[in-house]
Amino acid sequence: MGALATAIRLANAGYGVKILEKNNYPGGKLCNLELNNFRFDKGPSLFTLPNLVDDLLKLSPKKIDFEYKKLDVLTHYFFEDGTVVKSFSETKKFATELQLKLNEDPITIEKHLEQSKFFYETTAPIFLEKSLHKLKNFFNLSTIKGILNSYKLQLFTTMHQANSKKFKNKKTIQLFNRYATYNGSNPYKAPALLNIIPHLEFNLGAYIPKNGMIDITNKLVECAANLGVEFLFNCEVHHIELENDSVRYLKTASGDYPADIIVSDADMHLVYNKLLEKKYTPKKLLAQEKSSSAFIFYWGMQKQFAELDLHNIFFSENYEQEFTDLFNSNKPYHDPTIYVNISSKYCKNDAPQGCENWFVMVNAPHNKSQKEINYKEELKKNVIAKLNRILKVDLNDLIVCEEILDPYGIEIQTGSFGGSLYGNSSNNKFSAFLRHANYSSKIKGLYFAGGSVHPGGGIPLSLLSGKIVSELIVNDN
């Protein structure tokens, strides 16, 4: 996503752009899987800030139609004691739901979401939309406003501590703590500023593209091609060749590609460990704690479940222990929180009639050994047992096809170090300042976009990284 956004903006600015892609498909993690007669979005499944995609598509010289629907219900939450909570997108309706189901004060819920909005509006112009590593970006009204309000941003409180002080019910705390997983972090360590994330869903809205998440990739590729961007697939970069600390060309198995400017959307570990000489390696950056990874089951299900929707969460009983295992163990907790995404609820062609396509994800530790995963069968058994308990079914009789993607496979396919989905974790109050810059301070002409650098992982932040990088390149050249 970062590379596509950068390519579109630079091509629109008059640059000649080539995209070199290791795989035979575009989009990185945001790609497609077809299994029997089922279609799955293989990676990201949540769509927020659609304006970031719309802004890119407007740059196309040919009109591109991109349709998406706003969700009325964001997520269905399931707890072991039988409690089911619907996360309505309309704030007052959601507050009433939490009052009825969890005995929370609606005013407290509304104030929490108002605070989330304040966090976003105060920090977005500083942390998300500009390079943090250019001194001139700190001399403006937005930055001054942010500094003056910094004492309100709860930088020295963890997400869990902040949420525990607000809410009465541990289920409510768990529900809002979950947002730390949106960038692969631990709510018991990550700063409370991550409570910025609910604003994107509740106040700005969550959406589903008409043709599934893959439509984002397809439309951006179409836009880039319309602007003259050249795509080279099955073209793995083996080395970034330099001369006098300036980029010269990319070395691949199929030949060399000279370039005045190189933008890397690869994981920064891959860049420094495989593509550049060791003397350029930022050792402290690479040594930081990594974000979590994921273990995903893609299941074709020969049944439709009326109680489920597009986004569904089945919570662990001991959330704190789950995160302790996630960041201190080599396998997921035995009673994991499970996310089930069913795009066929909205995209009817994604599954045969009477069936559903289940994307079943569990947060998993990043794969430190970088070797094949050995807990697949144990995890599958635990996941099915939990879903069977809560849904009162036997999924073993309903799964007609299966494919899996584990941290080892994620690293092979995307280059993400150990399968870490978001680069470094945000389990640090200074994490926003500790991400890699969008440019190299040592190598002229080398820039960085994507989820492992500033401003962070996920579709919106990767798209914003492309905006930041393209502006840096235009200004520098």
Q: What is the mean pLDDT of residues 391-413?
A: 97
- Decide if 418 contacts 407 (C-beta within 8 A): yes
- Confidence class for position 411, pLDDT limits 50, 70, 90: very high
Q: Where exactly are the structural domains of the chain?
A: 1-31+47-71+205-282+436-477, 91-196, 293-417
User: Taking the C-alpha atoms of 312, 40, 361 and 357 in order, what is their torsion angle to the nearest 10 degrees?
Assistant: 50
User: Taking the C-alpha atoms of 43, 46, 48 and 50 in order, what is their torsion angle to the nearest 10 degrees?
Assistant: 60
- Decide if 355 contacts 271 (C-beta within 8 A): no
* All residues at 6 or more sequence positions from 89 whose CB lies less than 8 Å from its CB, including other chains: 70, 71, 72, 73, 74, 201, 202, 205, 206
Which tokens in the block code for residue 123? 């920090």
CATH topology of domain 293-417: Guanine Nucleotide Dissociation Inhibitor; domain 2 (3.30.519)
pLDDT in tens, 321-367: 999 999 999 899 999 999 999 999 999 999 999 999 999 999 999 99
- Looking at residue 216, its amino acid is I
pLDDT mean across residues, the chain = 93
Distance CA 77, CA 196 (A): 20
Distance CA 393, CA 324 (A): 30
What confidence score (pLDDT) does residue 423 get?
87
Beta pairing class for 446-448 and 262-264? parallel
Which tokens in the block code for residue 114? 């108002």
- Decide if 376 contacts 362 (C-beta within 8 A): no
Which tokens in the block code for residue 76? 């269905």
Instruction: Name the packing angle between helices 106-123 and 91-102 (round to 10°).
Output: 140
> Does residue 97 have a pLDDT over 90?
yes
pLDDT in tens, 5-39: 999 999 999 999 999 999 999 999 999 999 999 99
Q: What is the mean pLDDT of residues 113-132?
A: 84
State the DSSP string of 341-409. E-GGGT-GGGS-TT-EEEEEEEEE---TT-S--S-HHHHHHHHHHHHHHHHTS-GGGTEEEEEEE-HHH
Which residue did the predictor score with more confidence, 143 or 369? 369
> Does residue 139 have a pLDDT over 90?
no
| 224 sits in which H/E element | helix 214-226
Distance CA 432, CA 297 (A): 32
**Backbone dihedral angles phi then psi of residue 174, each to the nearest 5 degrees:** -65, -40
pLDDT in tens, 366-383: 998 889 999 999 999 999
Burial classification of residue 414, based on how many CB atoms lie within 10 Å of its CB (0-12 exposed, 13-18 middle, 19 or more buried): buried
Q: How far apart are the first and last CA of the chain?
A: 23
- Decide if 286 contacts 50 (C-beta within 8 A): no
**CATH number, span 1-31+47-71+205-282+436-477:** 3.50.50.60
> Does residue 146 have a pLDDT over 70?
no
User: What 3-state DSSP class applies to 77?
Assistant: strand
What confidence score (pLDDT) does residue 428 get?
76
> Does residue 256 have a pLDDT over 90?
yes
Q: Read off the pTM.
A: 0.94
- Confidence class for position 460, pLDDT limits 50, 70, 90: very high
- Decide if 361 contacts 384 (C-beta within 8 A): no
Closest CA to 126 of 468, 440, 471, 429: 468
State the DSSP string of 256-314. EEE-S-EEE-S-HHHIIIIIS-GGG--HHHHTSPBPPEEEEEEEEESS--TT--SEEEE
Distance CA 211, CA 218 (A): 10
Considering just the CA atoms, what is the radius of gyration of the chain in Å? 22
Distance CA 449, CA 467 (A): 9
| Cα angle, residue 19 at apex, residues 226 and 460 outer, rounded to 5° | 80
Q: What is the mean pLDDT of residues 183-208?
A: 94
Burial 215-253 (b: 16+ CB within 10 A, else e): bbbbbbbebbbbbebebeeebebeebbbeeeebbbbebe
Distance CA 460, CA 175 (A): 22
User: What 3-state DSSP class applies to 440?
Assistant: coil
Distance CA 207, CA 70 (A): 4
With tokens 């969008």, the residue in question is 438
